[in-house]
Every structure is written in C-alpha cells, then in structure tokens.
C-alpha cells in the first residue's frame, strides 16, 4: 500500500508538469491566436498571405518535429540554444495551438451573418462597437465546441513533450519500468498515468458543457 501511495505521488508530481505546460500554453496561445487570426483576415495582402502560409506550415507539420526545431534550430543558426526543455516545449506548443485557435476564431467570425453587422452600421455603431457587441459575442458561442475539443487535445498533447526529455507524467511512469526510486520493472505505473488524464479531461468536459449551456440563449 505504501508503495502504491509513493508511486502515485511521484506520478502526480509529473502530471503537475503537464498541467503547468497546459496552463501556460493556453494563457499565451488564446490571445496569440487572435493576433494570427486578425493577420489572416487583414486587407493588407502581404500580411494576409504571410500569416496564412505560416498557419499552413504549422498545421501541416507534426508537433513533435516543431519541438525539435524550437529546441535545436536557435542553437544551430544563432548559437543561442534554448537550454531549458520546458521553455522549448512551451514555445512550440504556443505557436502550434495559436495557429489552430486562429482558424477556429476565423471560422467563428465568418459564421456570423453579415446582415447583423450591416444592421449595426445602420444603427450608427463604429466598427469596434460592431465587433465587440455583435460579432465577438456570437463568435464566442460558435467556437466553444471546437475550442473545447482543441483544449482537451492540448491536455493529451503535453505528453509529447517527453520526446525532448521534458519530465512529465508518462516520463515518470516509464521511469518505474526502467528503474526509479528503488523500483524496477513495474509496468502498472505507466498505464496508471492514463487515470490522471481521464480525470482532468472529465472535469474539463463538465466545465465546457456548463459554458455551452450558459451561452445557449444565443440562437
């Protein structure tokens, strides 16, 4: 029983690293996605196509490859390597998810009927007021389901960071298989890591369900 508790606590410490990566990625990628989205719908064509090309590259290449690029390319090209694995993982995750979020935002904005924006103009509202009071409010309702899917995927994707030796929960579980903290050859901790993901994603699912119900007055 003591060994189960000790191992569970070590796995929990690893999952806290996953949660830290998840939280900071969400904190930075949500506003960064808005910036990328505005660039993608800009009337300034060079900026628009540059943004679209960047999003295409990020969405078209594996996150695992992007982790290696962020970790090694600065050192190879500029002789300024990123020494902290967590920092490299965070940069890669923020860039990746900002691009995905930007496409969700763009779809949400384009899904708002243009007639409603024209009605705002008739009422004498400025473009900023139309965006804040008409477009943004309806966009939020439209993007909640796809955003919730991406956010839950983000939780699971944090485990990919172990490829650059970021010591998260699956890394901790695998350590008990190889030999760690006086234990060796234990397989169950590796599978037990799934419990942490299931519980946390279950809580997120409940939260997003509540948010959708709160926004259900927009039809």
Summarised one tens digit per residue, pLDDT across range 40-53 is 988 899 999 999 99
Give the pLDDT band of residue 180 (cuts 50, 70, 90): low
State how far the Cα of 113 lies from the Cα of 133, in Å rounded to an integer: 14
Half-sphere exposure of 101 (CA within 13 A, CB side): 27
Query: Residue 191: pLDDT above 60?
Result: yes
pTM for this one?
A: 0.90
* Mean pLDDT of the region 127-140: 80
Average pLDDT, the chain: 89
* Residue of higher predicted confidence among 46 and 126: 46
78 versus 185: the higher-pLDDT residue is: 78
Residue 219's pLDDT is 55
Report residue 217's pLDDT band, with 50, 70 and 90 as the boundaries. low
pLDDT on residue 39: 94
Domains of the chain are: 2-214 (1.10.3720.10)
Bridge partners (DSSP) of residue 180 are 183
Quick one: average pLDDT of 148-176? 92
Distances (CA, A) of 118 to 2, 112, 113, 166, 186: 67, 11, 9, 50, 64
How far is the C-alpha of 139 from the C-alpha of 63, rounded, in Å? 27
Which pLDDT score, from 0 to 100, does residue 88 have? 95
Q: Is 76 exposed, middle or buried (0-12, 13-18, 19+ CB in 10 A)?
A: exposed
Higher per-residue pLDDT: 158 or 183? 158
Higher pLDDT pick, 112 / 64: 64
Give the CB-side neighbour count of residue 42, counting CA atoms within 13 A: 17
| pLDDT surpassing 80 at residue 58 | yes
Rounded Cα distance, 11 and 123, in Å? 58
pLDDT value of position 208: 94
**CA 62 to centroid of chain Cα atoms:** 14
Q: Does position 214 have pLDDT exceeding 90, yes or no?
A: no
């Amino acid at each position: 029983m003591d060994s189960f508790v000790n191992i569970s606590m070590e796995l929990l410490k690893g999952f806290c690293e996953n949660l830290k990566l998840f939280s900071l990625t969400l904190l930075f990628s949500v506003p960064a996605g808005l910036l990328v989205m505005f660039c993608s719908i800009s009337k300034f064509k060079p900026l628009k196509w540059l943004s679209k090309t960047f999003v295409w590259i990020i969405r078209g290449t594996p996150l695992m490859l992007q982790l290696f690029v962020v970790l090694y390319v600065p050192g190879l090209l500029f002789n300024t390597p990123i020494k902290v694995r967590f920092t490299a993982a965070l940069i890669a995750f923020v860039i990746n998810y900002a691009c995905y979020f930007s496409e969700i935002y763009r779809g949400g904005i384009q899904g708002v009927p243009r007639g409603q924006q024209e009605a705002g103009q008739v009422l004498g509202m400025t473009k900023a007021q139309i965006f804040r009071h008409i477009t943004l409010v309806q966009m939020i309702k439209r993007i909640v389901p796809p955003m919730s899917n991406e956010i839950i995927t983000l939780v699971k994707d944090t485990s990919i960071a172990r490829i650059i030796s970021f010591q998260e929960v699956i890394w901790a579980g695998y350590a008990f298989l190889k030999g760690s903290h006086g234990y060796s050859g234990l397989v169950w901790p590796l599978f037990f890591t799934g419990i942490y993901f299931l519980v946390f994603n279950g809580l997120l699912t409940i939260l997003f369900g509540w948010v959708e119900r709160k926004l259900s007055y927009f039809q």
